[in-house]
Amino acid sequence: MRIGVCYFPEHWPRERWKTDVAQMAEAGLEYVRMAEFSWAVLEPERGEFEFEWLDEAVDLIGEYGMQAVLCTPTATPPKWLVDERPEILQAEPDGTVREHGSRRHYCFNSAAYREETDRIVSKLAERYADDPHVAGWQTDNEFGCHRTVRCYCDDCADAFREWLAETYGSIEALNEAWGNTFWSQRYASFEAVDPPGPTAAEHHPSRLLDYARFSSDSVVDYNRLQVDLLREANPDWFVTHNFMGRFPTLDAYAVSEDLDLVSWDSYPTGFVQDRLEGEPTPDQLRAGDPDQLGMDHDLYRSALDRPFWVMEQQPGDVNWPPHCPQPGEGAMRLWAHHASAHGADAVLYFRWRRCLEGQEQYHAGLRKQDGSPDRGYEDAIRAAAELADVGEADHVDASVALLFDYDNLWALDEQPHAPDFDYWSLLDAFYGACRARGVQVDVVHPTTALSGYDAVVAPALHLVTDGLAKRLTDYVETGGELLFGPRTGVKDEYNKLRPAPQPGPLADLVGATVDQHESLPSQVETRVCRVDGDETYAFRTWSEWLEADAATPLFEYDTDGIEAGRTAAVENGVREGRVVYCGVWPGADLADALVAPLLERAGVPSCDRLPEGLRVGERGDYTWVTNFSSDRFAIEPDEDVEWLVGERTVDAYDVAVADGRIVDGLSVERLDSR
Ligand code: GAL
Ligand code: ZN
């Protein structure tokens, strides 16, 4: 596990570079990422290339024993290029052009921009092909950031029509697959189909789903163009891309197929404000949420398996969330350890020094604006030293898989059927229950081979094909433990209902069908109880009335309403395995009541339910304990253990690393709250 930093030498006088790079090396940093927004510096005028500055920076980094990670500069096409070829710009759904002056203003489907990309990437790749100090490349920067995956320009309209023609073959097949008889939406030709622009009422859900798929595929293609050029120049380089936290519009699995390593950008105190349900707690504002970050780590780690990096790690306060609190004392060190616990092989802080100009002046760096060390610098030094002491850890070997995919996300986002129905938040309920038991989780695409997992959790497998149903049935029949959440098996791959009750092709496996579903606001009482016991549990937002067939009812509605006594969850033994279908969105206690027995049946080692904010994670022969709260805890493993970092008492925002796997039977005591 290595520590690094993102650096913009082009923002600083050359005389300063040596000092900067020396300080990086002194801190124990090993990777320096550069150049992602530097096109206008690399090519100030068409054909006038100025690469010497980057040569010098790379050399200096090499001199100090570090490695450079270079980026293609395509996230920011320069003004001369925009003026020459304005057709590269993106358009909003209403046709408004996204202008130069910020970033990410180019269209992925612009033939002109693909030409220009080819030109600049080839030049750069050639220039550094034999440079021993360049370890690898990042393509572009955060594809799709600022809502730019979906574009509505003329090039995209043409490309969409081609994509549809390729996907469906004939317009009759498209009309049939989408169901275009509804509201007179039949098309006579592919040329007649437009991107979904502004309309009076909502769009057809099948058309929206295909626009989402097409848009994501356009980025996959565009990325591949860059990857091919880089690989051709030097096949030994790794090629990566830096994805974003909980990012909805780009299929990271699909992009990752073309990469050698997957990385992502982690900003914990921002993410709890702009992409987590509810108001953040004071602790979350200081340190973020371990499970929100954990799920992203696990998703990007699982997208390709090893290696996996955090390409940008929050270094201190940042500029873009609604509020910008100072992270808790030691939080920047905590995040690096937490990433390591989830399998990261490198963490690079963004950025080296607070910059004096431009849009991000309110964003901290490891060094302050005057160049002196900032809070994150001390944390980075400590993390680098501690992680070097821990040494090589094997890759995370998770025995539980959580099924997640973007098609389900897009389909559910289009028809949430309740203002608070959010696919990620539903995933959080199930994922959080696993993590609270100390269990490592792979977040995988439903088509992944599942036989290596002891248990599989599928929170809302909304779109299900016959092929997928068969694979899941095989998994259970051969001994798998499978837990489904609500809204599973609702539609086919075109986002259309079937002439069969939910869960469609999964009905035999589940041994039950859904008679009715409803979504409910928070003022309605929502409770279930065990069929064979007295415990009651809260649920929220979504419920289904199940009709058990071969299955055994597990939970029933425990309220006075029309749902009283109806079945809410069932369990079905199928040959060697077992499947549980939960028809409600479980609260934390219900999620635990479903997950804990699942883990036990599957033989997955787990611990007592952990307090919120405290998480443990096993990786190789080590166990990380990470405390995202301001409380102090005593960790009580079943057996004595040596602590490589910290000790069994873990302070606010603190870390401990044990030499051994200690989750099985572990318990935790809260010592005091601040
Ligand atoms: C990331 C981006 C960086 C920088 C950073 C600020 O999303 O990749 O370039 O803008 O956010 O937190
Ligand atoms: Zn476009």
- CATH classification code of 614-671: 2.60.40
141 CB less than 6 Å from ligand 1?
yes
From 43, 312, 414, 612, active-site residue:
312
142 CB less than 6 Å from ligand 1?
yes
> Is pTM, for the whole model, over 0.95?
yes
Q: Mutation test of ligand 1: which of 265, 335, 363 has the most ligand atoms closer than 8 Å to its C-beta?
A: 265
Annotate 233-243 with b (16+ C-beta within 10 A) or e (fewer).
Answer: bbeebbbbbbb
Look at residue 402 and tell me whether its pLDDT is greater than 90: yes
What is the Cβ-side half-sphere exposure of residue 394, based on CA atoms within 13 angstroms? 12
Token pair for residue 545? Answer: 């009335």
461 CB less than 6 Å from ligand 1?
no
User: What residue spans define the domains of the chain?
Assistant: 2-149+237-390, 400-602, 614-671
What is the Cβ-side half-sphere exposure of residue 215, based on CA atoms within 13 angstroms? 25
Nearest CA to ligand 1 atom 12: 318
By three-state DSSP, how is residue 669 classified? strand
Q: To 10 degrees, the CA torsion angle through 434, 436, 437, 443?
A: 30
Q: Which ligand is nearest to the CA of 219?
A: 2
In the reported structure, the alpha carbon of residue 218 is separated from the centroid of ligand 2 by a whole-number distance in angstroms of 10
Reply yes or no on whether 50 is catalytic: no
Tens digit of pLDDT for each residue in 464-517?
999 999 999 999 999 999 999 999 999 999 999 999 999 999 999 999 999 999
Reply yes or no on whether 312 is catalytic: yes
Token pair for residue 490? Answer: 């609702």
* Sign of the four-CA dihedral 303, 39, 20, 131: positive
Tell me which architecture the domain covering 2-149+237-390 has in CATH: Alpha-Beta Barrel (3.20)
Residue owning tokens 């259309």: 496
**Which residues are paired to 266 by β-bridges?**
313
Token pair for residue 601? Answer: 């049946």
145 CB less than 6 Å from ligand 1?
yes
Nearest CA to ligand 1 atom 9: 141
Q: In angstroms, rounded to a whole number, what is the distance separating the alpha carbons of residues 449 and 509? A: 18
Model confidence at 391, pLDDT cuts 50, 70, 90, reads confident
Question: Mean pLDDT over residues 157-165, rounded?
Answer: 98
318 CB less than 6 Å from ligand 1?
yes
Q: In angstroms, rounded to a whole number, what is the distance separating the alpha carbons of residues 440 and 514? A: 31
In the reported structure, the alpha carbon of residue 108 is separated from the centroid of ligand 2 by a whole-number distance in angstroms of 6
Model confidence at 148, pLDDT cuts 50, 70, 90, reads very high
Look at residue 664 and tell me whether its pLDDT is greater than 90: yes
By three-state DSSP, how is residue 327 classified? coil
Look at residue 641 and tell me whether its pLDDT is greater than 70: yes
Q: Mutation test of ligand 1: which of 142, 263, 296, 352 has the most ligand atoms closer than 8 Å to its C-beta?
A: 142
Give the count of beta carbons closer than 10 Å to the beta carbon of residue 204: 18
Give the count of beta carbons closer than 10 Å to the beta carbon of residue 329: 17
Please check whether the domain covering 400-602 is classified as CATH 3.40.50.360.
Answer: no
Q: In angstroms, rounded to a whole number, what is the distance separating the alpha carbons of residues 82 and 548? A: 61
**pLDDT number for residue 674:** 63
In the reported structure, the alpha carbon of residue 495 is separated from the centroid of ligand 1 by a whole-number distance in angstroms of 34
**pLDDT number for residue 504:** 98
Tens digit of pLDDT for each residue in 44-101?
999 999 999 999 999 999 999 999 999 999 999 999 999 999 999 999 999 999 999 9
